[in-house]
Amino acid sequence: MKHLALVLLFVPLAAFAGKEEREYMKSDVTPAITAAQGAFKKGCGCDLKMVMDEASVKSKDDMYQIKHMAESITEGAPKHCTDAPSKAAICKMKTLKMAKAKESTFSFAGAAGTATTDGQSYTNWDMMARELDK
């Protein structure tokens, strides 16, 4: 009986693999990333290149978390960048890579940040800002 349940759960996933993810990426994730880059630029006065690690983010559920990361930046960056020292601290990050990993974390080295989702939660703006604003 367990084997049959696994087969039944797998069939719907295989039926949606590809097209649904591409459509969700186009209709929801890409616009969220574009909006986040614009809000970051407008609020903090510097550019941020945001890239999604397509090798690790494959499912619509993972993309949903990436979308939330971007929306968190859209909301949080302009509110955080209200003075010159905050802008300078935040603008150290030039690139943000968003990926799936075992844990939702944020790391920063050089001019690059990496924000991850564990598939259930995502790295929000506050987590990023705490690390950048040290």
Question: Measured on CA atoms in the order 47, 53, 57, 60, is the torsion positive or negative?
Answer: positive
Q: How far apart are CA 105 and CA 94, in angstroms?
A: 18
Contacts of 72 by beta carbon, 8 Å cutoff, 6+ apart = 122, 123, 124, 125, 126
Q: Is the pLDDT of residue 46 over 90?
A: yes
pLDDT in tens, 74-112: 999 999 999 999 999 999 999 999 999 999 999 999 999
* 94 CB-side CA count, 13 A: 3
- pLDDT for 9: 36
pTM of the model: 0.84
Give the tens place of pLDDT for each residue, 1-43: 444 333 333 333 333 358 888 899 889 999 999 999 999 999 9
Q: What pLDDT is recorded for position 3?
A: 43
Provide the b/e sequence for 84-121 (b: ≥16 CB within 10 Å).
eebbebbbebeebbbbbeeebebebeeeebbbbbebee
Whether the Cβ atoms of residue 66 and residue 29 lie closer than 8 Å to each other: yes
